[in-house]
Structure 1
Amino acid sequence: IAGACAAVCSMVSFVPQAWRIVKTRETSSISPVMYGFNVTGFALWSAYGLGLGEWPLIVTNSICLVLSAFILMMTLLPKQKKDAVANSVDPS
């Protein structure tokens, strides 16, 4: 139960930041170096889970990888491309 709750918290923790970026297109306060390490860590955890055949590790870390990679990508994109991505995610 503790592991499942930890997995859910880990996955959900990136959603508010990703959604805020989509709504505001503001990423100046986000550290690309930190998110670069985050993305690398989640990729390695996913690979480790694949090596072990442990689906909880694979699923949890893959979802975190996608969300953190989205945040990193939005941090690195120029404004025009950032706007285009955000508009495709939330056209309102």
Structure 2
Amino acid sequence: MILRDIAHVRTGDKGDTSQIAVFAHSATDYALLLQAVTAERIARHLPNLACKRIVRFELPGLHALNFVLEGALAGGVTRSLALDPHGKTLGAQLLDMPVEGL
């Protein structure tokens, strides 16, 4: 199973910081998110990001986790030559992370 099977995402950006909110499809799936989707696992799944820090916030009322990836956008929208300066594809990449076997 991959993350996309149990969740969907929304992304945002501010400067060189990307934010990815991961929303579970159900309360049962949220319990799995809490266990399986950590800042450390995101760093391993997206190894080419030069993040200074990844911080996880838990939002149980929304069945969601919010991740703040500091330094992920190589300077931000106005300073980066990246093809995806807003980091919108990071959410899609994260949804490919395996979550089975935990």
Q: TM-score, normalised by structure 1?
A: 0.30
Indicate the structure with greater strand content: 2
Highest CA radius of gyration, 1 or 2? 1
Q: TM-score, normalised by structure 2?
A: 0.28
Indicate the structure with greater helix content: 1
